[in-house]
Chains A and B, each alone.
Chain A
Amino acid sequence: MKKILKYTLFDLLRSRWNYIYFGFYLIFTTSLLMLSGDVSTVIISLMNVILILCPLIATIFGVMYAYNSREFTVLLLAQPIRRSAIFWGQYFGLALSLSLCLLLGIGLPFLYYGLSSSGAAWEFLTLLGNGLLLTFIFSGLAFLIALRNDNKIRGFGLAILTWLFFAVVYDGIVLLLLLFFRDYPLENAALGLSILNPIDLSRILILLKLDISALMGYTGAVFQKFFGTLWGTIVTLLSLGLWVLIPVLSIRMIAKRKDF
């Protein structure tokens, strides 16, 4: 797997789309830091961008790369190498190349502007960590969709719909449910529903780390009470871990019995 990962990374790190992605984060973060000057404010602004952009780019890149490398995968399948090594190598290569863009694109300007002396290093790491997790989760989902659908247009459509569902539609459904059952105590239900969506989970984690949960009223207090505890942290990490693990294991299962 390491060999496939290495060469996938070589290939992708030279793709101009990766440079554009890296350049966007670099310019955007630098501009925000120059305009605001306050690291904590910039972290909140970046949170909104990362929560939408990381899953979107990982989804689009994932599905495009999986389809584009189909013939090359066939060449690799004829080599003495395990099927799972090929697909995992390609998946981790893709997720790592996107992660590097995020890490350097956001990390370099923050380091330059003196992150270590700002006292917001922990918040910054939470933001970055969530961005990386979302990249791994959504590129895994995109890879899985591309593996399950030979029709490129259908696969591409499904991948975009998946992103749209988690980034936008899911929140709409949750809001409607909360409105519909507003006469009942819903804090625990809202908590449960948030855990099922990786984007929501990341958003809550970052907000709580930024200590602005007070803005969320009573629900914020419940969230703080839950996510602030050891048990809450374990459940959150477990949930995000499962969101990475399930697509990765499914890739292996599908790759094992797929015809090429």
Chain B
Amino acid sequence: MIKIQNLHKAFGKNTVLNGIDLHIKKGGRITAVLGPNGSGKTTLIKCILGMVIPNTGNIQIQGKTIAGQWQYRKAIDYLPQIAQFPENLTVRELITMIKDIRQAPAQDDKLIQLFGLENYLDERLINLSGGTKQKVNLTLAFMYDSPLVILDEPTSGLDPVAMVRLRALIREEKQAGKTIMITTHIMSFVEEIADDIVFLLDGKIYFQGPIQALQEQQQETNLERAIASILDQKTSSLSTHALTS
């Protein structure tokens, strides 16, 4: 589904991705992209979506190289991290606009009902709270039947009821055989929902595989501790290096 080879990206002198090789197979699995702040999670996702243009490397989606292309995005549903929309449009107009752009069958009514947005449809987006905007964001992201779903921090600003519904929705998508990529900082959410982990550190993939394998590798029973132990090892190796050099 996604094949990335030797991906490099630097913003000025700041190298964010430093030789990423990643292969995510098609269908029915949820991959969580994890890593400390600034490790390149969002940049990696944005490279896949064509928002950030890599310095070198190759990305293939469904077997086709994406450089300079836009049609491949028909196969992707994306939830951005920050929900910000044109202030003066109503929720209904925004949904119509995205439907107008994509020209594909959408299940927006089901999602509007699921997230309780019926009463907000004629409200201008400027008048909505952060949580409600995130629900609109989720509706836009999930209303298409695309084989690849990319969610950047899907849980931010959601109330517990919406969280429960989001989990159910993600499971439903998984069962429908979709490939799902998620970034989040909430480890309990990852443990509950993800099958595989891609752990980024300093712009490289430090670990890729099932959650259990990471826990075994780090000899920890809990994912949060396993991640913390990687970061601890990294910090101590850095300080040892600094002392010896």
Contacts and interface: CB of A to CB of B under 8 A. Distances in A.
Contact of A79 (B46, B73, B89): B73
Interface in B68-124: 70-74, 76, 78, 80, 82-89, 93, 97-98, 100-102, 124
B158 interface: no
B50 interface: yes
Interface string A2-35: 0110011011101100000000000000000000
B176 interface: no
B53 interface: yes
A58 to B, nearest CB: 19
Interface in B1-48: 11, 46
Contact of B88 (A15, A71, A76): A15
A82 B86 contact: no
Interface string A224-243: 00000000000000000000
Contacts of B71: 80
A259 B71 CA distance: 19
Contacts of A79: 73, 98, 101-102
Given A3-B101, A7-B97, A15-B88, A82 B53 contact: no
Interface residues of B, number: 31
B49 interface: yes
B231 interface: no
A78 interface: yes
A78 to B, nearest CB: 4
Given A78-B78, A80-B73, A260-B51, A7 B102 contact: no
A68 B52 CA distance: 20
Contacts of A76: 101
Contacts of A80: 70-74, 101-102
A14 B140 CA distance: 23
Interface in A78-128: 78-83
A4 B89 CA distance: 13
A72 interface: yes
A75 B140 CA distance: 10
A153 interface: no
Contact of A11 (B46, B80, B86, B102): B86
B157 to A, nearest CB: 14
Contacts of A83: 70
Contacts of B51: 74, 77-78, 259-260
Contacts of A71: 80, 82-85
B101 A11 contact: no
B62 to A, nearest CB: 13
A78 B49 contact: yes
Interface string A242-260: 0000000000000001111
A77 B89 CA distance: 18
A149 interface: no
Nearest to B100: A3
Nearest to A77: B51
Contacts of B85: 71-72, 75
A75 B138 CA distance: 12
A8 B78 CA distance: 21
B236 to A, nearest CB: 34
Nearest to A14: B88
7 contacts: A10-B89, A10-B93, A11-B89, A71-B84, A75-B85, A78-B51, A81-B101
Given A8-B86, A10-B89, A14-B124, 15 more contacts: A10-B88, A15-B87, A68-B87, A71-B83, A74-B82, A75-B140, A78-B49, A78-B73, A80-B71, A259-B11, A259-B46, A259-B52, A259-B53, A260-B46, A260-B51
Kindly list the 3 A-B residue pairs having the minimum CB-CB distance in the complex, ordered from nearest.
A71-B84, A78-B78, A11-B86
